[in-house]
Amino acid sequence: MTREELKNYLPHREPMLLIDEIDIDDQHVAHAKYHVNGDEFFLQGHFPGNPVVPGVILCEIMAQSCALLMKEDLPGKLTFYTGINNVRFKNQVLPGDTVEVDAVLTAHRANIYFCDAKLSVGGKQCVSGSLSFALVPRTEK
């Protein structure tokens, strides 16, 4: 799926749409990519002279990748975190890096979904963790 196709499923828009492309394979594993070009809002003050993608943004990239694993259930709904567990940060993500995420749906009970995700750059793992989400009806304001 391209960035424009993702907008059919995810409510995120620029500057918070943090996936450029995604493919879901036959084993229901999501493979997503995001290129950090260096002018993102979250790099402006993190850190001056030494920009590093914040850990919370890396978790958001993983979360958006996970959400696409439940794309059939997404129309008319929003995904909200219910938990972020066992997150480990191993390496930094810098401007110019292409982030790759592998995510798998591990369980589903009612409107709660559980996923495991790993984020890497150039084959080097940067972040991993387990994420859970609630799907709730979308209401427009």
CB 104 within 8 A of CB 94: no
Verify whether residue 108 is a known catalytic residue.
no
Question: Which residue, chain included where needed, has tokens 């990748």?
Answer: 65
92: exposed, middle or buried (Cβ count in 10 Å: 0-12, 13-18, 19+) = middle
> How many CB atoms are closer than 10 A to CB 62?
29
Q: Pick the catalytic residue: 12, 31, 46, 108? A: 46
Smallest CA-to-CA distance from 94 within 137, 140, 55, 51 is with 51
Helix (H, G, I), strand (E, B) or coil at 3: helix
Residues forming the active site: 46
